[in-house]
Amino acid sequence: MTGALSGLRVLDFGQYVAGPLAAVMLADQGAEVIRIDPPGGPRWQTPANAFYQRGKRSLVLDLKQPADLAAARRLVRSADVLIENFRPSVMERLGLGAAAARALNPRLVYCSLPGFAANDPRHAMPGWEGVVMAAGKGYLPPWSGAHERPLYSALPLASSYAAFLAATAVTLALFARMRDGHGRRIEVPLFDALFQAFGAYAMSGDGAGNPAFSSDIWGAGCYRCADDRWVMWATHNPRFMEALVTVGGVPEWRDLGLLDRPRLLADKALLAELRRRVAALFATRPAAVWEEALAAAGAPLALVRSPAEWMETPQAHGARAVLEMEDGELGRHWQPGHPIHLSATPPAPQGPRHALDADRAILDEVAQPKAPPTGAPLAQILRGLKVVDLTQVLAGPTAARLMAEFGAEVVKINDPANPPQGYRYHLDVNRGKRTLLLDLKRPEGRAVLLKLAQGADVLLQNFAEGVPERLGIGEAALRAVRPDLIHATVSAYGQQGPWGGRRGYEPLGQAMTGMQWRFGGPASPLMEPLAVTDYGTGILVAFATALALYHRQRTGQGQAVEASLAHTGTYLQTPFLLLYAGKQWDEPSGQEARGSGPLQRFYRATDGWFFLGAKDSQAPALLSVLGLAELSEAAIEAAFAQDSIAAWGARLRPLDIGLQGCPSIEALMQDPWVRAQGLSITRHHEGVGRVTGIGPSIRMRPSPAVPGIPVRPPGADGRAVLAELGYAPDEIARLEAAGVLAVPGT
């Protein structure tokens, strides 16, 4: 089978992480990707290029030379997609900006991933990852104030999120082009992309509550075990605590009230005793023993692994989260695999990276110009499509929210016995959807779902393995009523592989893949701030769904698609997750890290912290401004401590050196420019009041993403949805009376 994007041509002008990552995601789906480098090759010489450039053809073009620019313009005429991640105006100066390229090829999907948007006041600042991260909250933890300085992570979170969003937006634009013939102009700035990682943690206002990783009272967190290894325990359900009591052989906890939630909430001493006992219990056995025993009991716990350990697990191999590849420089090695799975069009690498400039024969090919579009472009790409969202918590609902932003009609279904927990998440991930509380354990509830599925294009679910089949709403049952349905699944580990049925949440996604090991340090693992694997998985599910919709538009065939926390955790670490002879795991890690070196790190001025971003070649100019003779971190620290952030910025920005202060999340969400772009939106929510939260991050012309209506209280749209399905008022009343349908206020 060929990939969903087979037959399409992508021009990859990207450098560093964001552009190349987006392009390799498209290459793995069957697109022909032509990598275009300047003389000398990639700007970032890193072993990770074995991954970022796999399956791509290679050309070297000096776009400042007329002949090479003419060659690039010929390629543009034959291309379907162009990806670049330079600062705004760079491609315009080279003669290949969006307007010029789309004049050559009106059907072109042109995608830019700058550090800062073209209309951002900081657009001319070099968009180093650390600079963008500082601008986006300075990577302060959600519990701002608990640390004296910003937290540094080596992971390219802004670049990765931008790449995920860009690959999704490009695929949606290609789907739209099949319907209306028009290309699209896409911009996904790295700074804007970060807002999707903030999610509910950026929310404030009436009824929004306080951000926290978990409201669980039963001691979720990292625990040291008998072998001095750590486990991540994520007990968000009373059943999981029961499993710990059974596996741990401590039935007396029940008699002591340690499983009695109301008592624990009322008695702080009892709660403290529970947490003391949980820590003592985990210390009685090795970490791997706990992982196997609790997994067998259906409870979510993961050994905190190093990245290298994760890459060697049978699950990473079995789920193709990592792949063994050949490379001309690294030899046989392991690298990141695929972040998604599609049943009918499975992703596959198109071979190893090509040698630099190995494919000049491309220039001898006769360009096949694209036919100009006719008619008007779609106002919203997914208008007319229907999505049923059965998923819970963050990842799945995030995918459905993104589809709603592009015009899909989304119905969110929750269990009346377990409605969305807390308005914070409900208002965030269910924006733009209609909400329904329906008991799928009852035959009447399942009948409603099947009627919805009959008219749906996409259905998302994240039930535990086997649950949909037991309920009679598995993929086969749904496909019986809608054969071309796109059936999307979110899981913790990926459905393939020996651990496919294990449960998991955000903390486990970070623990199992090595993210906690790196961020906190091996001796004291710590979660990365924000639910980055959850929200990232949501974007990747939307990417997989967009690919499936594109394939269905071509062939009429539906299919099953999937993304998982484990795959996302892998893809958030792409610069480092390569195993080859001589590999050194020497990237910055732990809570003492402030950056990757003296020219890329956090420093403190008289009025706060900032991130410095400079190239090696700029070191002499920096030292001259600082009045220093040599590149010493201690001396640079002392120099920067003598003046304000604004003063240093005024001196360094004319030298094209990046310098960015660290705003609080509250200040960021109230920033006038951020609000004007719709990255922060404040609206009235029924039953709650005025709430500020994030908006869309993808910029697309035409067919922009829109926030959609504020979601109503859980279940508030139930009667209207059933009426549209043909249920009479008395039938709806009967379902309410029987508890199959729940409507707030009744």
Distance of alpha carbon 72 from alpha carbon 342, whole angstroms: 33
Q: Which of 411, 466, 470, 402 is nearest to 440 (CA)?
A: 470
Mind giving me the DSSP string for 252-275? HHHHTTTT-HHHHHH-HHHHHHHH
The three-state secondary structure class of 597 is strand
Are 648 and 605 a contacting pair, CB within 8 Å?
A: yes
pLDDT at position 217 is: 59
> Has residue 723 got a pLDDT over 50?
yes
Q: Is the pLDDT of residue 37 over 80?
A: yes
The pLDDT of residue 210 is above 50: no
Q: What angle do CA 309, 315, 319 make, to 5 degrees?
A: 125
DSSP H helical ranges for 145-267: 157-180, 190-198, 238-248, 252-255, 261-266
Q: What percent of the chain has pLDDT over 70?
A: 96
| In contact, 568 and 540? CB cutoff 8 Å | yes
563 confidence band (pLDDT: 50, 70, 90) = very high
pLDDT tens digits for range 663-688? 888 889 999 999 999 999 999 999 88
Burial label for 268, CB within 10 Å (0-12, 13-18, 19+), is exposed
Give dist(CA 641, CA 137) in Å, integer: 21
Residue 150's pLDDT is what? 83
Average pLDDT over residues 185-199: 96
Using an 8 Å Cβ cutoff, are 109 and 170 in contact?
A: yes
What gap in Å lies between CA 677 and CA 662, rounded to an integer?
20
pLDDT score, position 7: 95
pLDDT of residue 142: 44
Prior bond of 347 cis (ω within 30°): no
| The two structure tokens encoding residue 348 | 């596959």
Backbone angles phi, psi at 10, to 5 degrees: -120, 130
Residue 147: is it exposed, middle or buried by C-beta count within 10 angstroms (0-12/13-18/19+)? exposed
Mean pLDDT confidence for 717-744: 96
Nearest to 323 by CA among 342, 307, 336, 305: 336
Residue 134 host element (H or E): helix 129-135
What is the predicted pLDDT for the residue at 522?
85
Q: Which helix (H) or strand (E) holds 544?
A: helix 532-555
Give the pLDDT of residue 475: 96
pLDDT tens per residue across span 67-124: 999 999 999 999 999 999 999 999 999 999 999 999 999 999 999 999 999 999 999 9
Predicted local distance difference test score (pLDDT) of residue 207:
56
Q: What is the DSSP string of 428-457?
A: HHTTT-EEEEE-TTSHHHHHHHHHHHHT-S
Mean pLDDT, the chain, integer:
93
CA atoms within 13 A on the CB side of 518: 26
Rounded CA Rg of the chain: 26
- For the chain, what percent of residues have pLDDT higher than 90? 84
Q: What confidence score (pLDDT) does residue 234 get? A: 85
Give me the CATH topology for the region 595-666: formyl-coa transferase, domain 3 (3.30.1540)
How far apart CA 11 and CA 371 sit, in angstroms, is 18
| The pLDDT of residue 134 | 93
Report domain extents, the chain.
237-299, 595-666
Secondary structure (DSSP) of 601-621: EEEEETTEEEEEE--GGGHHH
pLDDT over 90 at 420, yes or no: no
Nearest one of 464, 344, 452, 401 to 711, comparing CA atoms: 401
Position 440 scores a pLDDT of 97
pLDDT of 89: 92
Q: What is the pLDDT of residue 19?
A: 98
Amino acid at 561: V
**pLDDT of 208 over the 50 cut:** no
E strand or H helix at 69: helix 66-78
User: Can you tell me the mean pLDDT for 309-328?
Assistant: 97
* Gap between the Cα atoms of 24 and 350, Å rounded: 10
Tens-digit pLDDT profile for residues 427-472: 999 999 999 999 999 999 999 999 999 999 999 999 988 999 999 9
Residue type, 621: A
pLDDT at 143 over 70: no
Q: What is the pLDDT of residue 216?
A: 54
Mean pLDDT of the region 193-217: 70
Q: Residue 127's pLDDT is what?
A: 94
What DSSP element (H or E) covers 289?
A: helix 287-296
Whether 493 shows a pLDDT value over 90: the answer reads yes
Please report which confidence band the pLDDT of residue 214 belongs to, taking 50, 70 and 90 as the band edges: very low
Query: 520: which 2 tokens?
Result: 């906190």
pLDDT (average), residues 266-280: 92
Main-chain dihedrals φ then ψ at residue 553, nearest 5 degrees = -65, -30
- Answer with the residue of higher pLDDT: 62 or 139: 62
Phi, psi of 298, deg, nearest 5 = 80, 20
